A and B are shown apart, each in its own frame.
Chain A
Amino acid sequence: MWLTRPFRERATRLFLGILLAALALVTLLNLAVPAGHPLHVSTYTVTLLGKYLSYALLAVAVDLVWGYLGILSLGHGAFFALGGYAMGMYLMRQIGDRGTYGDPVLPDFMVFLDWDSLPWYWLGFDMAWFAFLMVLLAPGLLALVFGFLAFRSRVTGVYLSIITQAMTFALMLAFFRNEMGFGGNNGLTDFRELLGFDLRSDATRLGLFLATGIALALGYVLCRAIVASKLGRVSVACRDAEARTRFLGYRVERFQLFVFVVSAMLAGLAGALYVPQVGIINPSEFSPIFSIEVVLWVALGGRATLYGAVIGALLVNYAKTVFTGVMPDAWLFALGGMFVLVTVFLPKGIAGLLRLRPWRRAGTSQPTAGEAAT
């Protein structure tokens, strides 16, 4: 079974082991160590880590398309934000009549705008299953339409990057508008509960952190399964010699579209996990600079490794938290400097320094054994 293939890779087992151990350790330090003890991990920190983990999942999604397919998407923030908005819409509907205006159906901002009924695209978001489905479908559908148009006309390389950036920019402008019905400038916030759990309680926050960690693990395994399959090798072929791949009979645009859509859905999932933890979603998530920052996480960690994306996301975001606390002005210098230094001096990222090469499949060294037997 292609989905279980990654579990046979040593690097994947190592990655999963470290991730799960870290999740368990944080849980333990949060629950079992009393507050005030130097080893205690506060709920605030847990939520912060949960935010980092959702970023890491987004980075994995970006690495899947950039590292293996060669498509530098500067619009993954849009998929992330769409997933986040889908989740946010569900959480808004969960507020019910506890909002400032006490309207049982309409969110506060709609009452404020004098709307008398929900727009059609808000229907159904009071049901968790529908909202969670939309978390995947909304970004997936956008990626499908956008990717279909772009790949069909063989838009690749820099062109594609800029057009994805234009896409997220356009969406940002659109979501800033009050008439769009997504809360305009302020976005969606003041969430109360998720699936009946109070979002402000410590237990829910720890639960969200763990859920994000598990989503990251599953997303990672899915991506590894894809890149370790023949489809993954076709992706690399598309990346390195697109025309040649076509002459071998592969419909390159379909492969690109498939991987792009999968990646967009993962990004949406990451956004959906991000929103309840930070408690707000607004159009700034669509801003082009966020999307391009995600690419930096991947570049710093090392592209086409997946685990590098996770390392990069955690490192850069930790640095950002520290920097913006200590000297906020210097952060953009540091970020800009990282872009330059990583691309010029560290093209393979931190993973390149580690020199781990997990993508060599065990199966091919003994082609008749192993893989062939399964």
Chain B
Amino acid sequence: MRMLPRFLSGLLCLCLLCGLPLAAQAQDDPGQALLDPLATASYAEKGEAIEAIIESGDARSRRWLEALLGGKLQRHKDTGRFVVVVENRGRNWPVVDALSFEDAGEMSRRELDRIGINNALRGQLQGALAVLDLHADEVRERREAARALLGDVDAGLVEPIRAVIDGEEDAEVRRLLEQALAIHRLEEGEAAAVDALSGSLNAQVRSALNAASRSEDPELAAAATSALADIEQKMTLNRGLETLYFGLSLGSVLVLAAIGLAITFGVMGGINMAHGELIMLGAYTTWAMQQLLPGQPGLALLLSIPAGFLVAALAGVVIERGVIQFLKGRPLETLLATFGVSLILQQLVRTVISPQNRSVVTPEWMSGSLMLNEGLSLTLNRLYVLGFALVVFAALMLVMRRTRLGLEVRAVTQNRGMARAMGIRATRVDILTFALGAGVAGLAGVALSQLTNVGPNLGQNYIIDSFMVVVFGGVGNLWGTLVAGLSLGVINQVLEPWAGAVLAKIVVLVFIILFIQKRPRGLFPQKGRAAEG
């Protein structure tokens, strides 16, 4: 045991030796110049030094000041090196270098000088820390800091904030800070402060106004109440917009899921019950892509768009050639056989991959949300899916309207016999259409993987909904599918708050059954001379 102190002192020497070049380096660091003045006994000088640190905008300022406030910023007696104590228990404290924040081993507390502060400095430091981020270079960070100040302003912060407002270029930051000050003034009972707050949707603003509306001062209470009513109105609008957004988002998923079904349904006249499983395949393709490209979820997702399309399209072709082609003109049998296929595909995934859900990573640029105002932010992944659905829709429209394949598909859909007579190879059209419809289902799966977990039952839930969309929109009409999908999504979301998710689904089902009473051919029926028989 007697060896230990010697060993430690040896270690210390080693540290010091290593520290020497570091110290030399530290002389060039402007941080050293900022910290040095703190090593004085005069509290007034320390105050100036703190000011200097704040003004410097140095990225390390927050950590220095926090350490200073906590008494953890200390100075090595011999070398003058500044360190931050990690844990001040025992005799030897682990420390980090105050400039590089790298581990600096352990130091005995006897070697260190604490930079002491008094109450005045403590107040100054607290205020400074509160407004410190307001000096950040990034506008986004400054806004964030300003928002954090709402409701947290006390008398000591008023002056520093005023100073910041004068020097701030960004209007949004200025507005937020004015609001923060206004809340303070409101709390002080100043009725005029309400004006600065009216229209804001911030929760802190609302709670301040709420408190003010119960104030004894009638003038203040009246002003606050009317401002609250104003805000409530805005909130209602926001909630409406949010419901609409979620509805459109759900609708866009329905459109993606239904549009492939609409295409295949139009051509083969029978419903492909394995359509949901094609969606599932698309989702699993995304998962597999991310397994192949670990660490690059964004790239993997982009690559899954063509990959998911191809995988599902290929599966679609296999289904068409293997099963459906033998069941031409027997839609009910097609339904049964493809249902069998869907069972097999589901079980295949369970056996080969896992019965458990797999989670697909959402790339950074798709996570987070887009803030429209303080009460309304749109999650980015849903926004992307909505956009993706519209792009897919537009692309399909182009394929159907502008390409030879689209023309042939429309011909076969309307009159198979005549199309054949005109020299269209119906078999080829069948295969291609089926591949197209299945591929779009794959795309739906890729999009869905960003919204829900990927599991063997993923697709099952979509087949009935998709078909409802097709029925609602009118068979063989892409526009109908779009409108029907989006409106069903919105209807679902509107119903949900007062009916509950399950009941909303039931209500929609009943609605569609009743809707077919009035419009048996959907919203946008394909008119034509009804064939006989």
Contacts and interface: CB of A to CB of B under 8 A. Distances in A.
A contacts B: CB pair < 8 Å: yes
A242 B227 CA distance: 66
Nearest to A146: B513
Interface stretch (A207-215, A255-263, A329-337, A362-370): A329-337
B270 interface: yes
B344 interface: yes
A266 to B, nearest CB: 21
Interface residues of B, number: 43
B517 A152 contact: yes
Given A155-B516, A340-B337, A72 B467 contact: no
A304 to B, nearest CB: 13
A289 B502 CA distance: 19
Contacts of B503: 174
Contacts of B334: 343
Interface stretch (B280-288, B323-331, B377-385, B478-486): B323-331
B502 A344 contact: no
B157 interface: no
B78 interface: no
Given A173-B502, A173-B505, A177-B502, A338 B340 contact: yes
A176 B83 CA distance: 63
Interface string A282-297: 0000001100100110
Interface in B325-382: 326-327, 330-337, 339-344, 346-348, 350-351
Interface in B489-525: 502-503, 505-506, 509-510, 512-514, 516-517, 520
B216 interface: no
B506 A174 contact: yes
A72 B331 CA distance: 10
Contact of A167 (B348, B351, B509, B520): B509
A333 B347 contact: yes
A222 interface: no
Interface stretch (A50-58, A85-93, A158-166): A158-166
A166 to B, nearest CB: 5
B85 to A, nearest CB: 57
Contacts of B516: 150, 153, 155, 159, 163
Interface of B: 269-271, 323, 326-327, 330-337, 339-344, 346-348, 350-351, 464, 467-468, 471, 502-503, 505-506, 509-510, 512-514, 516-517, 520, 532-533
The list of the 3 closest CB pairs from A to B, nearest first, reads A339-B340, A336-B343, A336-B344
23 contacts: A72-B336, A149-B513, A150-B513, A153-B517, A155-B520, A159-B471, A163-B471, A166-B464, A166-B467, A166-B512, A169-B464, A170-B505, A170-B510, A173-B505, A243-B532, A244-B533, A333-B343, A336-B340, A337-B340, A339-B337, A340-B323, A343-B323, A343-B333
Given A157-B332, A176-B502, A332-B346, 20 more contacts: A149-B517, A152-B517, A155-B516, A157-B331, A158-B269, A159-B471, A162-B464, A166-B464, A166-B513, A173-B506, A241-B533, A292-B336, A292-B339, A332-B343, A333-B348, A336-B344, A339-B336, A343-B333, A343-B334, A343-B340
